[in-house]
Amino acid sequence: MLFLLRQARCRAATPRRLSNSPARYLQTARVIFSGIQPTGVPHLGNYLGALRQWVTLQDAAAPDETLLYAIVDLHAITLKQDPAQLRQWRREMLASLLAVGLDPKRSIIFCQSDVPQHAELMWILSCNASMGYLSRMTQWKSKLSLPATASPLDLAPPRSPSAPSLPSLKLGLFSYPVLQAADILLYRTTHVPVGEDQSQHLEFAREVANSFNHIFSPTTPLLIPPETILSPAKRIMSLTKPTKKMSKSDPDIKSRILITDSKDVISKKLKSSLTDSLDGISYNHSTRPGVSNLIDIMYYLDESIASSPVQLCADFQNMSLKALKEKVAEAVDTQIRDVRERYESVMGGDAGALADVGDEGARKAEERAKETIGRVRKVLGFTWD
């Protein structure tokens, strides 16, 4: 899971306020939550589309605002994981969050599995989550490569020989959105920065919160329906398959640039990136996806250099593809050089110090989580008084 964050000039700088007064939910200050799966070192798409804005939100936050950024390892195990690799990926992701500029003294940075209240609230919310609603969610369908119209019943006999078997859909994957909702609602989150592809999950979280409040806490709503901080998408595509998004799951390491790649590695990956044999530089994702992706990367690295990717492309129209790739490589290295150096410093330092950051973040997160769970337990009748 990735609640995708975008850059400073998006509406994150001036987010929509809650449609209902925050006082109605016994909350006045803004709380921002987002999470990222532990997939090891993030790639350039993660950085430009998400992580860089996490830092922007942190640096622009008012003193009374709370920011929580989670490494969502419980979500990761909806697919089979190697324990040793997952442990390493958690460390690499935490080091990466520090390297991009998140400050554990200002933001609460933690691993989801270190706060047991996530799982507890998920179960409670599951007891009122609609199977019909969940069946319409896209997460489990995309993971199993099923069409958007698929239903859980489609996987049960009788089915065609080519259809996925019923065991291929696990309960954890199907109920993934409930855990996402619990992640958000546990901290009485008021705002969640997301990309357009995650808006469905935020709508589900609002649905779950409203349903819970209606049943158990109608007078003074307990769970806060979160607002969305939505920004224009920054889709960074694969260097080898520019019609697909850049992804860590692609077996070809040349398809992506990691935020820890050296200048030489960046140059080699971009030099071998798939473009075309046409002359000149033009911007059209349909006819020239590879070239357009390079322009997008250049533009999103520093949006102050042009008003749009199209305008930036006009400045390069007479440039050769070789020269364009070299220019993009230089821009990427300039942007991530400091991040790379900080990452190497963190990973090369005391392993215990990195673990302490995660432990301290989990402690702070659990303090807030216990407050919400305490209120939830009370309205459910799970207390003795």
Residue 362 above 80 pLDDT?
Answer: yes
- Give the H/E segment covering residue 111: strand 108-111
* 35 DSSP 8-state letter: E
Q: pLDDT digits over 301-333, tens only? A: 999 999 999 999 999 988 999 999 999 999 999
pLDDT interval class at 172 (50, 70, 90): confident
- Tell me which residues are annotated as active site: 143, 245, 248
- Residue 143 has a pLDDT of 66
- Read off φ and ψ for residue 123, nearest 5 degrees: -60, -45
Q: pTM for this structure?
A: 0.86
Higher-pLDDT residue of 48 and 195 is 48
- Residue 201 has a pLDDT of 73
Q: pLDDT digits over 104-160, tens only? A: 999 999 999 999 999 999 999 999 888 777 767 666 566 666 666 667 666 555 555
Across the chain, mean pLDDT equals 87
pLDDT interval class at 289 (50, 70, 90): very high
Residue 175 above 70 pLDDT?
Answer: yes
- Residue 39 has a pLDDT of 94
The CA distance from 126 to 146, in Å, is: 24
What CA–CA distances, in Å, run from 180 to 52, 55, 170, 230, 370? 22, 22, 16, 17, 18
**Strand partners of residue 236:** none
Q: Which of 371, 376, 326 minimizes the C-alpha distance to 31?
A: 371
pLDDT interval class at 5 (50, 70, 90): very low
pLDDT interval class at 194 (50, 70, 90): confident
Q: How many residues does the chain have?
A: 385
- Residue 58 falls in which region: left (phi positive, over 0), alpha (psi -120 to 50) or beta: alpha
Q: pLDDT digits over 69-107, tens only? A: 999 999 999 889 999 999 999 999 999 999 999 999 999
Provide mean pLDDT across the span 164-168: 57
Q: pLDDT digits over 248-265, tens only? A: 989 999 999 999 999 999
- Residue 206 has a pLDDT of 93
Q: pLDDT digits over 20-37, tens only? A: 454 566 667 999 999 999
Q: Is 381 exposed, middle or buried (0-12, 13-18, 19+ CB in 10 A)?
A: exposed
